[in-house]
Amino acid sequence: MWKEPWGFSTRIFEEMDKEFAELSRLFSGIQESGSSAGGRLPYYYGYQVTVGPDGKPHVREFGNVRPSSRGLVGQVAQTPSVREPLVDAILDEKQNTLVITAEMPGITKEDIKIHLGEGVVTIQAEKGEKKYHKSIPVEHELDENSAKAAYTNGIVELKIKLKAPAKKKGRDVKVA
C-alpha cells in the first residue's frame, strides 16, 4: 500500500470505491424491478446521522425500501404512497424547549396537521399525490399551549416548551 510522505493512506478511497460499486449494483436491481410497483414511485433509502446533546451519534434509517441479503430489490414498504419525512428532534435544555424539524416539500402550510399526544408528536400532510406521515416519540412532558409551528421552503419547524417538573410536596421533620 502506497503512503504519502505525511502518513496519509489512500486505502480509504479504495474502500469508498467498493461501497459505491455495491450501491450501484443494488440500485440497478431496483431499476430493473421497478415495474413491480407500477414503475411510477421513486425508491429512496438512506441514513441520517446526528450528534445529540450528549455527544453520542444517533443513526436513523429512512426511505421506502429496506435492505435485505438480496439487496434492495422487492423490499418496497407497505405504503409507498405515504412518505416518511426526514425528521430531527433537538432538546434545548437551556431554553427548556423541544425543536422538531421535518422536511416536507411540495405542500403548503394549510396542508399540514400536527397533533400533540401523550408521549408522541404526529406530523402529517397531504396535497394531491404528496402524502407525509411521521410519529415522533417524546420522552418529556410538553406544554401543548406553547407549541408554535412554521413552514418555510419545504421545512416544518415546531417549537414546544417542556412542562416544568412537578415540585415534590413534603415537609422536613426536625429530629428532637
**What cell was used for 114?**
400536527
Q: Determine the pLDDT at residue 169.
A: 75
Write the pLDDT tens digit of every residue in 70-108.
554 444 444 457 888 888 888 888 889 999 999 999 999
Q: What is the mean pLDDT of the chain?
A: 77
Distance, CA of 70 to CA of 27 (rounded, Å) = 12
Domain 82-165 adopts which CATH fold? Immunoglobulin-like (2.60.40)
Write the pLDDT tens digit of every residue in 25-42.
766 665 554 444 445 556
**In the chain, where are the structural domains located?**
1-80, 82-165
Instruction: Find the mean pLDDT for residues 152-170.
Output: 85
**What cell was used for 124?**
402529517
